[in-house]
Amino acid sequence: MKTLKDVADQFAIYGEFEGAEPFGRGHINATFVSRWNQAGAPVRYLHQKINDRVFPQPGEVMENIDRVTRHIAALLQKEGEGDISRKTMTVVPAKDGKLFVRDKEGGWWRTYLFIEGTRVLDEASSVCDVRLLGRTVGRFQKQLSGLGGKRLHETIPGFHDMENRYRLFYEAVSRDPVNRVKDTADEIAFMRENEEQGKVLVHALRTGRIPERICHNDAKMNNILMDDGGKGPLCVVDLDTVMPGSILFDFGDLVRTAASTAREDETDLSKVKFSLSSYEALLEGYLSEASSFLTAEEKGLLAEAGRNITHIMAVRFLTDYLEGDVYYRILRPGHNIERCRNQIALIKSMDGQRDKAVKKNR
Ligand code: GN1
Ligand code: MG
């Protein structure tokens, strides 16, 4: 971990570096945790090498994150909250004051305080009250609804734009660079059949039926830090994609992950089901924070949001499979098509219970 020590030493961290290990299971960035001796106290930091193929302007990503995390910390302070550095991420700047460090190969690195005593959940379980997950995402959006100043940078243009996602998908199908179209006829047919419905949210946003707001854009369950001591969810992490969009994308991502009975790459599809009771709990928790600022149009689309984000993920996983696995980190051959099939199974289960879910929304 020589490079990591070299990089870590350039951040404004006191004490002696003692070592570092890889951390987490994100699909995009490379994450490490370092250990330090700070005047006799063991302290840890989180370092990430930003994937600059995915985020072409890492400096803009960091500007967004710095603004957002400072804003939330200031709000919590005003509200008299304690334990603030566990309730939002804290960016540690470099010794030269910048929000990142460049390594010898030109790579972009950032550092956060490591939030101790937490875990993330890949599947909803009895350990976690899903209502609180909904509340956490609603609160995050509410906190950001008051962020003044210029519009946040769009860190990945067209990120949740289904027109864009379908364009990229059809391109991959027609180029078929690794000859995988022949193995994915059913999935491709599913995408063609569902194209219209998949574009409902982006059309609502584009035509102004629902407003543009600041949203997280990756508000899946395992991006919410849970307190180990039973205090429930602490904060939403993984802030690279915080940018303008529809807040329905966030509620949708939470539904996709926390109202599914399996993780997103479960291969036994008989285990992949939409849980109506989890959906109801998520909705209740989410609305306890968000109902004060949601418009009637947004409320009317909440039941569509989970399906929509699940559909976006299915298209993205399939596109990456057809492209030869160039975007998402995969842990085994076929991982992307497994993820795609899982998400399609979840959509089918959602569709089977749609009427009931829509009723919950009233
Ligand atoms: C990626 O890095 P990670 O795992 O938090 C992806 C999200 C997808 C998610 C699927 C920048 O997030 O959009 O929802 O995988 N992030 C980016 O689990 O593409
Ligand atoms: Mg993540």
State pLDDT tens for residues 176-214.
999 999 999 999 999 999 999 999 999 999 999 999 999
Q: What is the pLDDT of residue 338?
A: 98
For ligand 2, the distance from its centroid to the CA atom of residue 211, given in whole angstroms, is: 26
Same domain? For 108 and 183 the reply is no
> What's the rounded Cα separation, in Å, for the pair 287 and 131?
10
| Banded model confidence at residue 362, pLDDT cuts 50, 70, 90 | low
Supply the residue whose CA is at minimum distance from atom 15 of ligand 1: 27
Total domain count, the chain: 2
Residue that is last in its domain, among 116, 135, 152: 116
Same domain? For 76 and 151 the reply is no
| Banded model confidence at residue 54, pLDDT cuts 50, 70, 90 | very high
CATH number of the domain bearing residue 46: 3.30.200.20
> What's the rounded Cα separation, in Å, for the pair 326 and 26?
15
- The answer to whether position 248 is within a domain reads yes
Q: What is the pLDDT of residue 204?
A: 98
Same domain? For 187 and 268 the reply is yes
- The answer to whether position 121 is within a domain reads no
Read off the pLDDT of residues 73-88 as tens digits, 9 standing for 90 and up.
999 999 999 999 999 9
Read off the pLDDT of residues 211-243 as tens digits, 9 standing for 90 and up.
999 999 999 999 999 999 888 999 999 999 999
DSSP 83: -
E strand or H helix that includes residue 199:
none
Domain that holds residue 78: 2-116
Q: What is the pLDDT of residue 199?
A: 98
- The answer to whether position 122 is within a domain reads no
The pTM assigned to this predicted structure is 0.95
Same domain? For 71 and 145 the reply is no
> What's the rounded Cα separation, in Å, for the pair 61 and 64?
5
For ligand 1, the distance from its centroid to the CA atom of residue 80, given in whole angstroms, is: 33
Supply the residue whose CA is at minimum distance from atom 14 of ligand 1: 218
Which segments of 112-231 does DSSP mark as H helices, in order? 130-145, 162-175, 185-198, 200-206
Same domain? For 112 and 146 the reply is no
Same domain? For 161 and 85 the reply is no
For ligand 1, the distance from its centroid to the CA atom of residue 349, given in whole angstroms, is: 22
| Banded model confidence at residue 355, pLDDT cuts 50, 70, 90 | confident
> What's the rounded Cα separation, in Å, for the pair 137 and 288?
11
Same domain? For 21 and 132 the reply is no
Instruction: Reply yes or no on whether the pLDDT at 135 is more than 60.
Output: yes
Read off the pLDDT of residues 304-353 as tens digits, 9 standing for 90 and up.
999 999 999 999 999 999 999 999 999 999 999 999 999 999 999 999 99
Supply the residue whose CA is at minimum distance from atom 19 of ligand 1: 28
Same domain? For 10 and 150 the reply is no
Burial call 283-312: b when 16+ CB within 10 Å, e when fewer: bebbbebbeeebeeebbbbbbbbbbbbbbb
Same domain? For 287 and 266 the reply is yes
CATH number of the domain bearing residue 279: 3.90.1200.10
For ligand 1, the distance from its centroid to the CA atom of residue 151, given in whole angstroms, is: 23
Residue that is last in its domain, among 116, 136, 156: 116
* Cβ atoms of 217 and 185 closer than 8 Å: no
